[in-house]
Amino acid sequence: MSLFGGRKLESDVEFWHNPDRSGWLMKQGEYIKTWRRRWFVLKQGKIFWFKSDVVTPDSVPRGIIEVKKCLSIKGAEDTINKPHAFEISTVDDNMFFIADSDKEKEDWINAVGRAIVKHSRSLLADDQADYTTR
């Protein structure tokens, strides 16, 4: 457990090795809407971001998106008028990201999309298991 933004961050995900996907993306700040380059790691249904690409067990994520809260991920070049842009919509927020290339953008959309589908299938399996045990 570590502190994140003044609150405790509990993550049992070992984000420092064998990620499902990792790489640099530009992310718009939550409060100050400037674009900042961050290192992103997708692992076990969570998207973490860091200031540096040197990620260790002691690294503290700058933020986390839980895939289970993601409603969609899609290209967003037309929405924000920037190349290689994509948007992740969650129940709480719409977040925009910019990849370094179109291939990077597509790879992120595919990886996060697969994670969303995988998570929704596991939720469906849990629901069916609950239903059959009643």
Q: What pLDDT is attached to residue 102?
A: 97
24: left (phi over 0), alpha (psi -120 to 50) or beta: beta
- Distance between CA 128 and CA 82 in Å, rounded? 42
| pTM of the shown model | 0.83
Residue 25 CB neighbours (<10 A): 23
Share of the chain above pLDDT 90, in %: 70
Q: What is the pLDDT of residues 40-52, one digit of tens each?
A: 999 999 999 999 9
- Distance between CA 120 and CA 20 in Å, rounded? 17
Q: At residue 1, does pLDDT exceed 70?
A: no
Instruction: Name the residue with higher pLDDT: 13 or 101.
Output: 101
Mean residue pLDDT across the chain = 86
Q: At residue 128, does pLDDT exceed 60?
A: no
Mean pLDDT of 110-121: 90
- What architecture is domain 2-129? Roll (2.30)
Q: What is the pLDDT of residues 27-42, one digit of tens each?
A: 988 788 899 999 999 9
Question: Letter for the amino acid at 92?
Answer: D
Nearest to 2 by CA among 65, 52, 56: 56
Q: What is the pLDDT of residues 78-91, one digit of tens each?
A: 999 999 999 999 98
Q: What pLDDT is attached to residue 30?
A: 78
Domain ranges of the chain: 2-129
